């Protein structure tokens, strides 16, 4: 066609999959071509290109890039003819693309008036899925430069994010075993933290070398504010196995037991001298950190794991209260007198059964998220250990005794997981509202910045994980 120019407006063809510009007299391409991220095939053969715009590296779904018959450098032409040449060439271009400016700082959202007197004790809590190194691959995150996906780069950016927010309690998910002991724990110990960790249950069946790369959950606390009283591991597959063996349930065996997700909990004592002798203010807190099963097709497993988690946390707190003589009197029969904070990547949206159960404290055994699977014996055993009320259908409900609230609402976070394929809120900081009041939270990432610089997913050079960290400051509420 003897075309000599392609207009930037070609990028308006957002859903174009195949573009053949071969056999023209083109010397250059508009950078906007890199915005056409749905392209699978781009043919530029037999033109007059001496350079390719690095923006083409953003076409991470491209399967074929034809550039033969152009006066390009031999290095570029040779790279394109190698096995997986298109992938190599796109990686090279993306790695050399100029990095966009840093995003604006996330705003602090004050939830309680600034002028009021500070409570006797307040503390901040962070929850952050740090994206385990073995999951940070080019096939999954092809829109991220390869250098920004390396663990050496990301671990320093993750540490900076953690240190900049300087929370008193830090809950991390997807922490590799080796990285907890060789990086996170020593780095945070240097500035006054201590921490606990457990890998996913599969680590028990592995060799020592393999075990190093299993990810898990970690809880860190600043030693100036807290001391560790006890720690607890909640293994959902072990709970499922114990239940299935005693009660018999194929769905429990075949759907829940084969998932090796875990919960971790730390019973902490506050080191605040101003609280001494204040019998109405809790002196302890239980912090739990969980990473729930990821697969959207298994919302029943997510819900069962969450019910197991809350049941175990209730048992832990009631035992701590009776055996250690700690906690305060509560207004509600059966509710532990120790505050609970639950952090985690729950892999569940705010319209899920998991969220409903946590916030409402009840869920019907015929809830749609159970997908009609047979968990009747589990329901019976769980209901026997709690009280029941009737649902509108007349079926009993599963309950937990904590009056939990989420620190964040949809209005002030938008999404916590931000990838090309999925954007949504699945990370949370829940708290027992009888004991704690959120003072403020770290607001969401600036949407206009994401839009302006065409950030289609994370990680990227400015965000070292595909999740955004959550941060909330709490103060203790007196029990009268």
Give the confidence band of 116 by pLDDT, cuts at 50, 70, 90.
Answer: low
- Relative to beta strand 18-20, strand 41-43 is parallel
Query: Average pLDDT for residues 97-108, to the nearest whole number?
Result: 97
pLDDT value, residue 387: 47
Whether residue 332 has pLDDT greater than 80:
no
Q: Whose structure tokens read 């319209």? A: 351
**What integer pLDDT is reported at residue 306 of this predicted model?**
98
Q: pLDDT class for 44, splitting at 50, 70, 90? A: very high
Rounded to an integer, the average pLDDT of 418-438 is: 96
CB pairs under 8 A, 24+ apart, for 369-373?
Answer: 369/299, 369/300, 369/302, 369/303, 370/300, 370/303, 371/299, 371/300, 373/251, 373/255, 373/300
Q: What is the DSSP letter of 21?
A: -
- Tens of pLDDT, residue by residue over 437-474, are 999 999 999 999 999 999 999 999 999 999 999 999 99
For position 79, what pLDDT does the model report?
Answer: 97
Please name which of 226, 210, 198 lies closest in space to residue 283, comparing C-alpha atoms. 226
pLDDT band at 246 (very low <50, low <70, confident <90, very high): confident
Query: Minimal CA–CA distance to 176: which of 165, 187, 184?
Result: 184
The pLDDT score that the predictor gives to residue 384 is: 66
Instruction: Rounding to the nearest 10 degrees, give the CA dihedral for residues 330, 335, 339, 341.
Output: -150
Q: H or E segment at 218?
A: strand 215-222
pLDDT at 280: 66
Q: Which two tokens stand for residue 434?
A: 């009888």
What gap in Å lies between CA 173 and CA 264, rounded to an integer? Answer: 10
374 Cβ contact partners less than 8 Å away, ≥ 6 residues apart: 249, 250, 251
Structural tokens at position 216: 């898990």
pLDDT at residue 390, as a whole number = 46
* Residue among 35, 215, 345, 369 flagged as catalytic: 345
SS3 label, residue 361:
coil
345 is catalytic: yes
- pLDDT tens profile 269-313: 999 777 666 666 778 999 999 999 999 999 999 999 999 999 999
Span 402-428, mean pLDDT?
Answer: 94
What is the pLDDT at residue 166? 96
Model confidence, pTM: 0.95
* Share of residues in the chain with pLDDT > 70 (%): 93
> What is d(CA 146, CA 188) in angstroms, rounded to the nearest whole number?
27
**Whether residue 89 has pLDDT greater than 60:** yes
- Count CB-CB contacts under 10 A for residue 363: 22
């Amino acid at each position: 066609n003897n075309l000599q120019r392609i207009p930037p407006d070609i990028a308006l063809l957002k859903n174009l999959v195949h573009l053949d510009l071969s056999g023209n007299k083109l010397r250059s391409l508009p950078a906007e071509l890199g915005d056409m991220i749905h392209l699978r095939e781009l043919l530029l053969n037999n033109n007059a290109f001496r350079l390719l715009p690095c923006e083409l590296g953003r076409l991470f779904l491209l399967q074929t890039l034809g550039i033969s018959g152009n006066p390009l450098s031999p290095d570029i032409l040779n790279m394109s003819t190698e096995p997986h040449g298109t992938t190599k060439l796109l990686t090279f271009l993306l790695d050399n693309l100029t990095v966009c400016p840093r995003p604006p700082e996330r705003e602090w959202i004050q939830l309680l008036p600034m002028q009021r007197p500070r409570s006797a004790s307040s503390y901040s809590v962070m929850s952050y899925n740090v994206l385990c190194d073995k999951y940070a691959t080019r096939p999954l995150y092809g829109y991220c430069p390869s250098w920004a996906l390396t663990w050496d780069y990301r671990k320093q950016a993750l540490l900076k994010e953690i240190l900049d927010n300087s929370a008193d309690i830090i809950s991390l998910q997807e922490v590799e075993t080796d990285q907890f002991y060789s990086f996170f724990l020593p780095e945070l110990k240097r500035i006054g933290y201590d921490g606990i960790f457990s890998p996913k249950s599969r680590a028990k069946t592995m060799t020592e070398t393999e075990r190093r790369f299993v990810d898990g959950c970690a809880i860190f606390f600043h030693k100036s504010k807290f001391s560790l009283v006890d720690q607890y591991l909640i293994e959902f597959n072990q709970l499922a196995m114990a239940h299935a063996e005693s009660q018999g349930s194929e769905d429990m065996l075949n759907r829940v037991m084969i998932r090796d997700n875990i919960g971790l909990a730390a019973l902490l004592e506050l080191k605040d001298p101003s609280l001494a002798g204040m019998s109405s203010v809790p002196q302890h807190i239980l912090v739990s950190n969980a990473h729930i099963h990821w697969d959207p097709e298994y919302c029943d497993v997510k819900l069962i794991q969450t019910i197991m988690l809350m049941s175990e946390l209730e048992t832990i707190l009631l035992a701590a209260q009776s055996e250690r003589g700690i906690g305060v009197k509560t207004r509600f029969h059966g509710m532990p007198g120790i505050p609970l904070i639950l952090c985690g990547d729950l892999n569940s949206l705010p319209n899920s059964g998991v969220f409903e159960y946590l916030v409402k404290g009840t869920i019907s055994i015929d809830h749609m998220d159970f997908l009609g699977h047979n968990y009747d014996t589990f329901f019976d055993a769980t209901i026997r250990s709690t009280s029941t009320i009737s649902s509108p259908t007349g079926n009993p409900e599963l309950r937990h005794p904590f009056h939990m609230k989420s620190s964040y609402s949809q209005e002030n976070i938008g999404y916590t997981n931000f990838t090309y394929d999925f954007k949504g809120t699945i990370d949370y900081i829940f708290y027992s509202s009888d004991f704690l009041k959120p003072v403020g939270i770290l607001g969401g990432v600036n949407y206009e910045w994401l839009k302006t610089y065409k950030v289609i997913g994370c990680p990227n050079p400015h965000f070292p994980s595909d999740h955004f960290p959550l941060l909330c400051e709490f103060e203790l509420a007196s029990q009268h």
